């Protein structure tokens, strides 16, 4: 008995430590995304063909390249710093858009029921059956990539869970007696959804959003990897990965560091998301 308690306590401590680290990493990356290139040790766009493909720790004319240089001699550390903004901005906007549309559609369907539900399920099923990446590559391949297009495409890839959760939760809530009471008092649909349904489903949506953010970052990197990401002055993390692919055997630092940056960001977001879920889950209350 005491042993189990001790294990639980140590697990809890470990969880806390992991959470703390995740929060710190996330805070740093968000700070980098806000400040942009300003915190980069060197100008990330500065090329130097004489210092191309140099390993971590190489001392160039502009200082020490702590994470080495890429194929045209840019500082990898500075590129990663500069890449935090597009990674977070694009995925953040995409999740916001997906959440907005998904919740709106889901709540409406849950409230109205009937035909609307069939339509919603029909559309989401089609979308889930269609490989997202194929869809994304087709759309971005036809239209010239831009920030808004990539945000739209990623949002298209992650709005379905929002709609489904919002739909099922709304359906349960509207059957409650207090909603009927509002009906009786002739409350408008808009008022019911905004004042009574939304606040009740919001915690779940926020938890979902954190996980969707992780997925969106991976999607953004994937699109960048195949050359369909947002056009930026310096390569995004996904683009760095694809550019470094040819040098994987001869210059590992081109792929390992940006890959690690993506991994770290997504992991931190997921750890935080998990904790958020635990907090909002009434079954786990008080832990």
Partner 1 sequence: MSFKAIPATFLTLGLALASSTFLPSEALAQKTVARVALSGGLDRLDPIMSANGTDLVVMTQIYETLLKLDPKTGELKPHLAEAYRLKSPTVWEIKLRKGVKFHDGTPLTAADVKYTIERILNKDLASAHYSQLTTVSEVRVIDDYTVEIETKKPDPVLMRRMQPIGGSGRVFIVSKAYYEKHSPEELTNLPMGTGPYKLGKWEKGASLTLVKNDSYWGDAPDVDEGVFTFIPENSTRVNALLQNEVDVIQRLPIADVERVKKSSNAHVVASPNGLVHTLLLDSSKPPFNDLNVRKAFAHALDTEEMVEGLLGEYGRVLGVPMGPNVLQFDSSIKPYEHNPELSKKLLQGKTPIKLNTFTSDGRYVNDRDFYQVINEQLKQVGFEITPQTLEWGRFINMMQNRSGGPFYIIGWDFGEGDASKMNSFLQSSSALSVTQDPEYDRLVTMAGEETDEAKRTEIWKQVQKYVHDQYFVAAVWQASSLYGFSNKFDWVANFGENLALSEFKTVKQ
* Among the residue ranges 42-50, 128-136, 192-200, 274-282, the one whose residues contact partner 1 (CB under 8 A): 42-50
- Pick one of 59, 180, 246, 281: the residue that binds partner 1 (CB under 8 A): 246
* Among the residue ranges 66-74, 167-175, 192-200, 269-277, the one whose residues contact partner 1 (CB under 8 A): 66-74
Which tokens go with 254? Answer: 């081109």
Q: Nearest Cα to 70, choosing from 236, 190, 210, 247?
A: 247
Q: Between residues 102 and 238, which has the closer beta carbon with respect to partner 1?
A: 238
Which tokens go with 156? Answer: 């298209």
147 binds partner 1 (CB under 8 A): no
- Least gap, CB of 72 to partner 1 (angstroms): 5
CA distances from 73 to 60, 61, 241, 255 (A): 10, 11, 15, 15
- Pick one of 178, 185, 250, 285: the residue that binds partner 1 (CB under 8 A): 250
204 binds partner 1 (CB under 8 A): no
- Pick one of 19, 30, 71, 147: the residue that binds partner 1 (CB under 8 A): 71
Distance CA 18, CA 11 (A): 10
Distance CA 190, CA 187 (A): 8
Q: Nearest Cα to 123, choosing from 109, 111, 134?
A: 109
DSSP code at position 246: G
Distance CA 61, CA 59 (A): 7
145 binds partner 1 (CB under 8 A): yes
- Least gap, CB of 83 to partner 1 (angstroms): 15
- Pick one of 53, 116, 256, 276: the residue that binds partner 1 (CB under 8 A): 53
72 binds partner 1 (CB under 8 A): yes
Q: Between residues 209 and 241, which has the closer beta carbon with respect to partner 1?
A: 241
75 binds partner 1 (CB under 8 A): no
50 binds partner 1 (CB under 8 A): yes
Helices (DSSP H) in the chain: which residue ranges? 2-35, 76-112, 115-129, 132-142, 147-158, 160-174, 177-184, 189-191, 198-225, 237-244, 253-280
Distance CA 20, CA 11 (A): 14
- Pick one of 55, 57, 63, 231: the residue that binds partner 1 (CB under 8 A): 231
Whether 232 contacts 89, CB under 8 Å: no
Q: Between residues 71 and 117, which has the closer beta carbon with respect to partner 1?
A: 71
Q: Between residues 61 and 144, which has the closer beta carbon with respect to partner 1?
A: 144
270 binds partner 1 (CB under 8 A): no
Q: Is 230 left (phi over 0), alpha (psi -120 to 50) or beta?
A: beta
Chain positions contacting partner 1, by CB under 8 A: 45, 47, 49-50, 52-53, 71-73, 144-145, 227, 231, 243, 245-251
């Amino acid at each position: 008995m005491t042993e189990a308690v001790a294990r639980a306590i140590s697990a809890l401590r470990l969880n806390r430590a992991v959470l703390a680290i995740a929060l710190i990493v996330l805070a740093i990356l968000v700070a980098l995304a806000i400040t942009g290139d300003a915190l980069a040790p060197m100008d990330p766009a500065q090329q130097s063909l004489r210092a191309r493909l140099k390993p971590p720790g190489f001392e160039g004319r502009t200082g020490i390249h702590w994470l080495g240089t890429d194929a045209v001699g840019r500082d990898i550390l500075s590129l990663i710093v500069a890449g935090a903004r597009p990674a977070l901005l694009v995925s953040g906007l995409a999740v916001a858009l997906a959440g907005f549309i998904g919740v709106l559609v889901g709540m409406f369907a849950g409230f109205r029921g009937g035909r609307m539900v069939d339509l919603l399920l029909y559309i989401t099923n089609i979308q889930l059956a269609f490989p997202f990446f194929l869809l994304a590559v087709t759309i971005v391949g036809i239209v010239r990539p831009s920030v808004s297009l990539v945000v739209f495409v990623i949002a298209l890839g992650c709005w379905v869970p929002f709609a489904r959760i919002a739909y099922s939760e709304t359906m349960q809530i509207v059957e409650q007696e207090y909603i009927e009471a509002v009906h009786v008092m002739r409350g408008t649909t808009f008022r019911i959804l905004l004042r009574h349904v939304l606040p009740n489903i919001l915690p779940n949506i926020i938890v979902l959003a954190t996980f969707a953010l992780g997925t969106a970052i991976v999607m953004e990197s994937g699109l960048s990897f195949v050359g369909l990401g947002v056009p930026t002055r310096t390569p995004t993390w996904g683009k760095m990965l694809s550019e470094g692919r040819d040098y994987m055997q001869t210059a590992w630092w081109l792929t390992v560091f940006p890959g690690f940056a993506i991994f770290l960001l997504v992991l931190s977001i997921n750890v935080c998301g998990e904790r958020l879920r635990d907090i909002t889950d009434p079954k786990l209350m008080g832990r």
